[in-house]
Amino acid sequence: MNNIKEIDEFLEFLKYVLNYSENTISSYERDINIFYKYIFSEGYDVGDVDLTIIRSFLNKEIERGISKKTCCRYIAALKHFYSFLFENKIIKNNPFAFVHSPKKEIRYPHFLYLEQVENLLDKNSKRTDELALRDQCILELLYSSGVRASELINIKLSDIDLRNRTITIFGKGRKERLVPFSKSCQLTIKDYVSNSRDKLVNKSIEASTHDYLFVNSNGMKLTTRGLEYILKEIETKTGCNYGLYPHLLRHTFATHLLEGGADLRVIQELLGHESLDTTQIYTHVSEEAMKNQFETAHPRAKKK
């Protein structure tokens, strides 16, 4: 779809006024374009939209097989967009003002048990290839800090305070927070920076100009796709087939903290969640883990 003035203005608003991340902005743009494609195909303009048209659009998308989660995302993006259009007097009425999202399906996040984490770190530490130290550092940091994939790849050497074991993280909306990490992670970072990172960075002149902590095999800054690939490679090299992906270790971090007695609001702060409701999901995960352990361990739990 060709650039449309009001969409471009809205995306600039998200980027420069609200400081939304590139991923969030891309998601908004994609969802709005899907809606525009529908209304244009039906012969409507942006100002013609009413509840009937909105309902027809959502029904068509549901028939196409979208999930409740995607439906909620569409509505959230379009509500925000139409509020922007209304406030800037591009439209006279906001048809999304009274549109409510359907209840989302609750999907509890997966996590690893402590034994699995320890097994993964132990087996990976025994690797001897040139990427072993970097991969160990990635695993340690994801598990001991709970940072998002997008946050991990953007960590710079200057963001790390090794003595105090903290990292300055710039999260969603460029919000800054201070995240601690473990002593084990501290030692691994030192080892990686001293004995591995420079060897990778020195592979190219272009790579040696940046300050990012984690790099790919050519010494260049990691991407989120690259991080996902690294975790799959770690599984192959260690034989630990746990279905590794960045958020799995973030979920594991939060679940283990909660099971260890950490306050939910502390976990919220560490994860960089705006709402406590988002963090609340881990109480359900922890309860589920407790039930599973009971079913496995108690002699009478298995009896019908």
Strand 166-170 relative to strand 176-180: parallel, antiparallel, unpaired? antiparallel
Contact 112, 120 (CB under 8 A): yes
Contact 234, 124 (CB under 8 A): yes
- Mark whether 148 is an active-site residue: yes
- Mark whether 273 is an active-site residue: yes
What gap in Å lies between CA 29 and CA 26, rounded to an integer?
Answer: 5
Q: Which of 73, 197, 250, 251 is catalytic?
A: 250
Enumerate long-range contacts of 208-214, CB under 8 Å, 24 or more apart: 211/156, 211/157, 211/158, 212/153, 212/154, 212/155, 212/156, 212/157, 213/137, 213/155, 213/156, 213/157, 213/159, 213/160, 213/189, 214/134, 214/137, 214/138, 214/152, 214/153, 214/155
Q: Which of 172, 177, 203, 221 is catalytic?
A: 172
- Mark whether 247 is an active-site residue: yes
- Mark whether 282 is an active-site residue: yes
What are the beta bridge partners of residue 167?
A: 160, 179
How would DSSP label each residue in 231-244?
HHHHHHHH---S--
Nearest to 173 by CA among 255, 273, 303: 273
What gap in Å lies between CA 167 and CA 178, rounded to an integer?
Answer: 6
Q: Please report which residue ranges of the chain form alpha helices under DSSP H.
A: 5-12, 22-41, 51-63, 68-87, 114-125, 132-145, 149-153, 183-192, 198-201, 224-238, 246-259, 264-271, 276-297
- Mark whether 127 is an active-site residue: no
Q: Which of 36, 82, 143, 282 is catalytic?
A: 282
Neighbours of 151 (CB within 10 A): 22
Q: Which of 148, 190, 251, 256 is catalytic?
A: 148
Strand 176-180 relative to strand 160-161: parallel, antiparallel, unpaired? unpaired
Residue 246, both tokens: 């960045």
The catalytic residue positions are: 148, 172, 247, 250, 273, 282
